[in-house]
Every structure is written in structure tokens, then in C-alpha cells.
């Protein structure tokens, strides 16, 4: 059966530009009700993402009023570069959360991949090979998480919390044993350092990489059977298994994708900051999960869009950059992130209940 085969039982075909999500099996007019359910989901997704965009624009306007230089060319480029790393991490996290799991080890994976990339470059490895090695290190970390979650059936929260510290410890041990606790910019080849400042038509290359990742992940989730099946798994794992979806294999693949993208983010981190140690990426897991959840990816699984997660990453990055311009203590960034997570979870729950009620009402009227 081809990858573009029909979606699994119990899921509605997504409208263009929106994420698919599972909908209740209709009791009548089977060819019409799923379309209605998908239309409702599409409207909710669009409203949610438009709300994030409106909040982002409002924040930018308020910051420009306080400091007109906030939108200078250099500030915009710095903002896009900073957002690109979080966006790549959020794209991988989205794939995992959709399956009703979570990956808390992405910050540590980023740090290990960044240090591995820097070490290889210092030792004379060609830049393309070092980049691929960084991504491979992340993929191996994701594979470890996926095997324990999908095969051993251990909750992902427990597994990735453990690997968060295990990977960070491995990074610290590697740095101490190698005798190179810190990799400095002077040690890295100029060709690699040039990536951070490279631009295409004025747009930073790192941001274009993030855009490409989001488009590819979004296209796969929307257009391919293996992508749509992730939504079925997140909506109801047992029903997905009964309908023939290889749940374990799909969850394993989701964690590998998350790890590989965290590895890519580690390479981007190394190119961006160029001074690396075992603490790189510390605390990033909070902002990655927040970007996905604030962007409309339901923490309960089964719905969400990688495009919304990208908007969430851009919003959180802008908050961090705007607070000093508004004269506020940077501490409020963490407070704002926590508040946004809570608000997003409450909103997701209320929207899910409202959607379920509307679908039940339509089914009753049509029966």
C-alpha cells in the first residue's frame, strides 16, 4: 500500500494547511459527517494560529513604541536566527507530542550534538561530515528514547526525564575526559563559522533551514499516510492498533525524528554561538514544549500543526527579546512561558469539549 493511501480508520482527511485530527465515527451519512468534522477542526486550528499571530504582532507593536530601534535590520536578523534553533526543536517535539508522548531530553541532545560537532571540527573533520555526525548523534539519542518507550512500554515522561540527565552527564564526562572543557570560536574552521552570518536575499541561512524543516515536517504530517497515522495514535492508541496502524514503529520513528532535529539544532547552535561546553542547551526543554503547546499542539495528543508550533517558537523568542526593551526583568520570561502553557492547555481542553458537543449535536440531528 502506498504512503499516500487513505487515512486510517477514525481520522478525518485534513483540510489544506491544517493539521489532521481524529474525529468520532459518524452514525449516519458517513461521507458527509467526517468532512464536517474536519471543517470544524480546520476552523479551530486557523483561529488558534491567527490568535498567536495577533499576539505576536501586538507584542512587536508595543515594543516598537517603547523602542523604535527594535525593528532595525540587525535586530530582526538576530531575532530570526535565535528563533530558528527553537523552531527546529519545536518541529521535532510536535511529531512526538502528536502521538501522546513528550521528549524532555531535547535540550541535552542539542548540547551533546553541538559538542560532538565542535570536537569533530577541531580535529579537522570536513564541515559536511561534522554536520551529518551531529544530526546522527541526535538521531541515536532519539532512537534510545524510542526503543524504551515503544518496546519497553515505559511512559515517555519518565524515560526522557531520565535520558535528559543521562545525556547531559555523558556530555560532561566527554568534555572532562577529553581535556577540552570548552571549545572556542578560534578553534573552529572559518567555513563553519561563516554559516551564522550567511544570508540569502538578506534572510539568515539558519532561519531558512528552520523554514525548510517546518515545511517538510508539515507536508509529511498532512500528505503521507505515516504522518496521518501519528494523529490516529495520539487520538486513541488502542483504536489505532486495532485498525492496523503499527503503533510501536510509528512512535519509535517519531522519537528518532525528534532526536535528529535536536541534533540539527545542536549543529545550528554551534554555528550560532561558536563557544561550546557541556552546558549548551540547558533548560531548552521547557521552551520547546511551550512553543509546541502554545502553538496549538494538544498536550493530550492527536491534534496540532507544526506551523503553529513554529509561530509559538517565534512568539517565545520575541518575548525574550522584547522584555529588556520594555524595561522588564528577564525573569518574567519564564513566568510568561509558564502562564502561556497553562492557558494553552485550558484552551485546548475547552475547544476539544466544544468540538465534541457540536459533533454529537450534528450526529443526533442527522440520525
Residue spans per domain, the chain: 38-349
- Confirm if 41 and 296 have CB atoms less than 8 A apart: no
38-349: CATH topology? ABC transporter involved in vitamin B12 uptake, BtuC (1.10.3470)
Phi, psi (5° rounding) for residue 62? -60, -40
pLDDT for position 143: 97
pLDDT for position 15: 40
pLDDT for position 348: 65
DSSP 120-148: HHHTT--HHHHHHHHHHHHHHHHHHHHHH
Q: How far apart are CA 81 and CA 265, in angstroms?
A: 11
Q: How far apart are CA 92 and CA 224, in angstroms?
A: 17
Its pTM surpasses 0.85: no
Task: Give per-residue pLDDT as tens, 112-171.
Answer: 999 999 999 999 899 999 999 999 999 999 999 999 999 999 999 999 999 999 999 999
**pLDDT of 290 above 70:** yes
* pLDDT band with cut points at 50, 70 and 90 for residue 219: very high
Task: Give per-residue pLDDT as tens, 38-65.
Answer: 555 555 556 667 778 888 888 888 888 8
Amino acid at each position: 500500500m502506498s504512503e499516500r493511501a487513505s487515512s486510517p480508520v477514525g481520522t478525518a482527511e485534513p483540510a489544506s494547511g491544517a493539521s489532521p485530527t481524529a474525529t468520532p465515527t459518524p452514525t449516519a451519512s458517513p461521507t458527509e459527517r467526517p468532512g464536517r468534522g474536519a471543517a470544524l477542526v480546520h476552523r479551530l486550528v486557523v483561529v488558534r494560529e491567527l490568535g498567536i499571530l495577533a499576539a505576536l504582532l501586538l507584542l512587536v507593536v508595543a515594543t516598537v513604541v517603547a523602542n523604535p530601534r527594535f525593528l532595525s535590520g540587525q535586530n530582526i536578523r538576530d531575532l530570526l536566527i535565535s528563533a530558528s534553533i527553537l523552531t527546529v526543536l519545536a518541529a521535532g517535539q510536535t511529531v512526538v507530542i502528536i502521538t501522546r508522548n513528550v521528549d524532555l531530553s531535547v535540550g541535552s541532545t542539542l548540547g551533546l550534538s553541538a559538542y560532538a560537532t565542535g570536537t569533530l571540527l577541531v580535529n579537522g573533520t570536513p564541515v559536511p561530515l561534522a554536520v551529518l555526525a551531529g544530526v546522527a548523534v541526535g538521531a541515536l539519542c532519539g532512537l534510545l528514547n524510542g526503543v524504551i518507550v515503544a518496546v519497553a512500554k515505559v511512559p515517555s515522561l519518565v524515560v526522557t526525564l531520565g535520558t535528559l540527565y543521562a545525556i547531559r552527564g555523558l556530555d560532561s564526562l566527554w568534555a572532562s575526559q577529553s581535556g577540552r572543557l570548552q571549545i572556542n570560536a578560534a578553534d573552529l574552521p572559518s567555513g563553519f563559522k561563516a554559516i551564522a552570518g550567511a544570508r540569502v536575499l538578506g534572510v539568515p541561512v539558519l532561519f531558512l533551514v528552520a523554514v525548510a524543516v517546518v515545511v517538510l515536517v508539515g507536508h509529511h504530517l498532512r500528505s503521507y499516510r505515516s504522518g496521518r497515522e501519528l494523529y490516529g495514535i495520539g487520538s486513541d492508541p488502542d483504536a489505532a492498533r486495532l485498525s492496523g496502524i503499527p503503533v510501536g514503529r510509528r512512535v519509535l520513528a517519531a522519537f528518532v525524528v525528534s532526536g535528529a532535529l535536536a541534533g540539527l539544532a545542536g549543529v545550528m547552535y554551534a554555528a550560532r554561538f561558536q563557544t561550546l561546553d557541556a552546558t549548551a542547551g540547558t533548560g531548552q526543554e521547557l521552551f520547546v514544549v511551550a512553543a509546541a503547546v502554545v502553538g496549538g499542539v494538544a498536550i493530550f495528543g492527536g491534534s496540532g500543526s507544526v506551523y503553529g508550533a513554529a509561530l509559538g517558537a517565534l512568539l517565545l523568542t520575541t518575548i525574550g527579546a522584547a522584555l529588556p526593551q520594555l524595561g522588564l526583568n528577564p525573569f518574567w520570561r519564564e513566568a510568561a512561558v509558564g502562564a502561556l502553557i497553562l492557558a494553552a492547555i485550558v484552551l485546548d481542553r475547552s475547544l476539544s469539549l466544544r468540538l465534541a458537543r457540536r459533533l454529537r449535536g450534528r450526529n443526533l440531528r442527522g440520525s
